[in-house]
Structure 1
């Protein structure tokens, strides 16, 4: 790799980490994409022309559209950085058409599925001395569906994440960014039952061994619960419960911007995926809520005279 490419890519990644709070995995992906593009450009990516970039992108034709789009995004941001630094007068990547991608709709659970999961978890956590694991699972479920946390955010919650009479959690999410998420009364009750069972000195809210419960273990616990609750285990995961949190809130009239903040999405376009609804509900909405639904059909008709010859 040309020394110029190596140096500018390194500076670009430093900027992404310091100014935009890019996560470690994001930085690693950018590095791979830019190192690959530099190799395809003969080690002179920083000086590449639109023609060179088109040739590079043509070489990605066999990749999934989403993968090619990610590589183009890395190039666009890299050259935008070089522009800002005064090392280029243009951004040649802007001349490249973005590969068409279609974001799949998230899998969601029905309200009935969610009720079954909570009924089963609640039943297992009942009684005089229920197993600690059952109370822990109930709290995990409350926080996943009641607060919309990512699996990694949930399992790594520190013990002090819920304190006093706070009605919210301060969560550290992607890019090491903090955000506020709601804490329901139900979650608070489950937490009050779980706290006395935590080992003294534990740094984590959900400890396991020398660390905390893993995402894989959380996934397994939820699927096992789904099986016991009569819900298809293949349809349940921590991410699906996060989808259900978002979708069901929107169905209840939640504001999209507020939902964006709660979910920790940097781009509202990511949040908009949750605005999907079935066609039956859309038709019902138009028929009941649109101003035309309140107009007299007869009054809306107008006689039109035939034009004179």
Structure 2
């Protein structure tokens, strides 16, 4: 039988094109928290631009210390009751399915309220709705792009910052001022305190120094 005929009937495995790795060419590692002066710099730019949505999103990201997936999926009803914004909010984390509470400062409550009362939020359920009809709310990818734009606007290197920078910012400040890992653990919604130690980049010596100050 003709060899060419046999070869033409051999089924070769399909070769799928290799997808470019999402982290190719990117700096990977622990993202830095923002310093207070950097928080104020971003906030001032958003206020000047009168960007109600981004201002509410940024302020709430700092206060809530939520993961991006939980932040973007917040609903208006999670924060707003009647004609006021809650001072404390409790949600179930999507990653752990455990509850976590966070405080909403007065400034953040004002920006959230201004955003909720804007024409863009008429009869909308999610706090940060998507502009695309096939999505209920802003995606984590879009949130990451916004954070990148915010840090670039104040001349920071975007490779060193990300959505976790906003989650870590207030938590890192609380730890530096109080040394209370347990409090930070609760605020971040971590199951174990060693997760908080790793997340904040706390060294063993720091942890031992804190422990030595506690006498029971």
Aligned to 1:125: 47
Distance change (3 Å), C-alpha of 1:144 and 1:254: farther
1:206 aligns to what?
A: 128
Task: Tell me which moved more, 117-126 or 197-206.
Answer: 117-126
Shift of 1:123: 2.9
Alignment counterpart, residue 264 of structure 1, candidates 170, 173, 189: 189
State the partner residue of 2:76.
159
Structure 1 residue 203: Cα displacement: 1.3
TM-score (norm 2): 0.70
How far, CA to CA, are the matches of 1:253 and 1:203 in structure 2? 38
CA RMSD, Structure 1 to Structure 2 (Å)? 2.9
**Structure 1: stretches of 5+ with no match in the other structure:** 1-103, 291-309
| Contact 1:121 1:225 (8 Å CA) reproduced | no
Paired with 2:38 and 2:172, the residues of 1 have a C-alpha distance of: 18
Q: Distance in 2 between matches of 1:249 and 1:105?
A: 22
Match of 2:109 among 183, 188, 197: 188
Cα distance, 1:120–1:275 mapped onto 2, change above 3 Å? closer
Report how far residue 180 of structure 1 moved: 1.2
Unpaired stretches in structure 2, ≥5 consecutive residues: 1-27
**Secondary structure class of the residue paired with 2:178:** coil
> Does the 8 Å contact 2:85/2:112 carry over to 1?
no
| Whole-angstrom distance in 1 between the partners of 2:179 and 2:124 | 36
Q: Supply the distance in 2 between the matched residues of 1:178 and 1:109 (Cα, whole angstroms).
A: 24
Q: Relative to total residues, which structure has the larger helix share, 1 or 2?
A: 1
Cα distance in structure 2, aligned partners of 1:254 and 1:201: 44
Distance in 1 (alpha carbons) for counterparts of 2:195 and 2:116: 35
* CA–CA separation in structure 2 for the residues paired with 1:105 and 1:233: 13
Superposed, 1:94-109 pairs within 5 Å as 106-109=30-33
Q: 1:265 to 1:124 in 2, by over 3 A?
A: closer
Measured in 2, the distance between the counterparts of 1:109 and 1:260 equals: 16
Alpha carbons 1:106, 1:243 under 8 Å: kept: no
Give the structure with higher Rg (CA).
Answer: 1
